[in-house]
Amino acid sequence: MADHIAAVHELRRSFRRLPKDAPVRLGKPTSNLFRFRESTNTHRLDVSAFSSVLSVDPVSRTAEVGGMTTYEDLVAATLPHGLMPLVVPQLRTITLGGAVTGLGIESSSFRNGLPHESVQEIEILTGAGDVVVARPDNEHRELFRGFPNSYGTLGYSLRIRIELEPVRPYVHLRHLPFTDAPAAMSALERVCAQGEHAGQRVDFVDGVAFGPNELYLTLATFVDRAPWTSDYTGSDIYYTSIPRYAGSGPGDYLTTEDYLWRWDTDWFWCSRAFGVQHPVVRRLWPRRWKRSDVYRKLVALDRRTDFSRLLAHYRGKPQSEPVIQDIEVGVDRGAEFLEFFHAQIGMRPIWMCPLRLRPDAKDGVRTGADAEAGADAAPRDSGVAGAAEAGPRWPLYPLDEDRLYVNFGFWGLVPSLPGLAHDHHNRLIEREVSRLGGHKSLYSDAFYDEDEFWELYNGVGYRDLKTAYDPDGRLLDLYAKCVGNR
């Protein structure tokens, strides 16, 4: 902590040395955002000193973590204690601060909510250059509640205290097949409500839609022993194993660590764009390069060089529109969204992940995490500037209490037909999500007009926080960053 405190003082000095009329960004080596922008004269803050786990307390089941620490490093520090964060996003190099300010999700989100809901305290460098500690019950509770979905436009997290939960050595996976979306959504709602299936507890739930008539829900449970464990970092590919293990058989088994990173090895299924799923290429491609951050660097290189667009042009092939999005709609509208998506977009597979706000957070009672009983821990509810006490718990990304949502993730290219706008399919998705009363994550390109954006993402509450913590506009505005792509 002495080193951390010294780093905080040095960061504040660095911030003060920057020209006051210059926009500020973080200087960090990794990113999981998909808003690629041209290089600018923006001044960057070196935050490398805030990328480590400061402490793990197995008694209180908490960890003190630098805001730029990756989940890969955090998991490596907590698993030896038989603990893990309550929600571990799918990709290794997502940072804890990024998941808190930009939202994250994974298959424990149906019982543990989103990553920021297990945060007890955040130390934040604000746009004003101050360092404040925000908790749900102190004078900065407005910032604590408004920090999620602010994407670094209100400040940067330097230290975060989060809750942890117990784990077991292995995870047992059962893949349930469905031939239509309404049946899959109905089963998803039932399993998430009961927390069990066929008499067995369920600790994790997600799924994949390979097509309109081929869907799978994956129900996973912590276990102490496994008759075997699969390895999807070599020649086998996780998502192609789902149909193989589906049905009434014994299912599949992974170590807990391999389960947490099951999607990272092939960036879900996106590694196929680089040929990594071809048997010959896969044998030659080093294990250390089978990682989401490697693939993203290749995408960034392609965006900078325009290689794939030029190649398609010279081959006489149609141009493509990148459609890289995660959206949430209520489980009762999930089948309706899938019907639209298959008809109008046509991309597959589609990731499906249920989530709801943590059920014990609304009464302000803090309970211990317990993987066996499924109990959760959560911060107290508090007031937020610009919102009433009874308003949304997380005002910049308002979700209904007690409602189960389904996150649909889809990442790839859609052919852009002659006469269509370059953002045609993305705008179709945005309109449909709004029609269904859903939400869209802002880690990738967004195309809303400004009035609609602020209506969806609580412009009134955001402006109150911006005025309080970044009065001179040293940090980018949320709309300028997420839609203007600045």
Q: Where are the domains of the chain?
A: 2-167+477-482
Where b means 16+ CB within 10 Å and e means fewer, 368-399 reads: ebebeeeebbbbbbbebbbbeeeebbbbbbbb
pLDDT computed for residue 313 by the predictor? 54
Give long-range contacts, CB 8 A cutoff, 24+ apart: 236-242: 237/265, 237/266, 237/269, 237/277, 238/262, 238/263, 238/265, 238/266, 239/208, 239/266, 239/268, 239/269, 239/349, 242/175, 242/208, 242/216, 242/218
CATH node for 2-167+477-482: 3.30.465.10
pLDDT of residue 420: 86
Query: Does residue 429 contact residue 342 with C-beta atoms inside 8 Å?
Result: no
State whether the Cα torsion 81-87-100-265 is positive or negative: positive
Give CA–CA dist 181/186, Å, rounded.
Answer: 9
Question: Which pair of tokens denotes residue 157?
Answer: 């997290």
Instruction: Return the pLDDT at 162.
Output: 97
Q: How far apart are CA 33 and CA 97, in angstroms?
A: 13
| DSSP single-letter state for residue 251 | -
Give every residue of the chain whose pLDDT is below 50, as ranges. 362-369, 371, 373-389
pLDDT, position 76: 97
Among the listed residues 474, 447, 235, 417, the one whose alpha carbon sits nearest the alpha carbon of residue 325: 447
| Unique residue bearing structure tokens 């004078």 | 139
Give pLDDT, residue 367.
Answer: 31
- Identify which of 221, 240, 108 has the alpha carbon closest to the alpha carbon of residue 173: 221
What token pair was written down for 445? 């390109």
Short-list 404, 382, 406, CA closest to 392: 382
Tokens of 482: 């997420």
- Of 269, 222, 213, which is closest to residue 241 (Cα–Cα)? 269
Closest CA to 375 of 169, 128, 235, 201: 201
CA–CA separation, 344 vs 238, rounded Å? 28
C-alpha neighbours within 13 Å on the C-beta side of residue 275: 5
CA distance 40 to 450: 23
Task: Kindly provide the b/e burial profile for residues 89-111, where b requires at least 16 CB atoms within 10 angstroms of the residue's own CB.
Answer: bbbbbbbbbbbbbbbbbbbbbbb
Of 191, 259, 193, residue with least CA distance to 222: 259
**pLDDT for position 250:** 92
* C-beta of residue 395 within 8 angstroms of C-beta of residue 323: no
| pLDDT for the residue numbered 407 | 97
How do 24-27 and 43-46 pair as beta strands? Answer: parallel
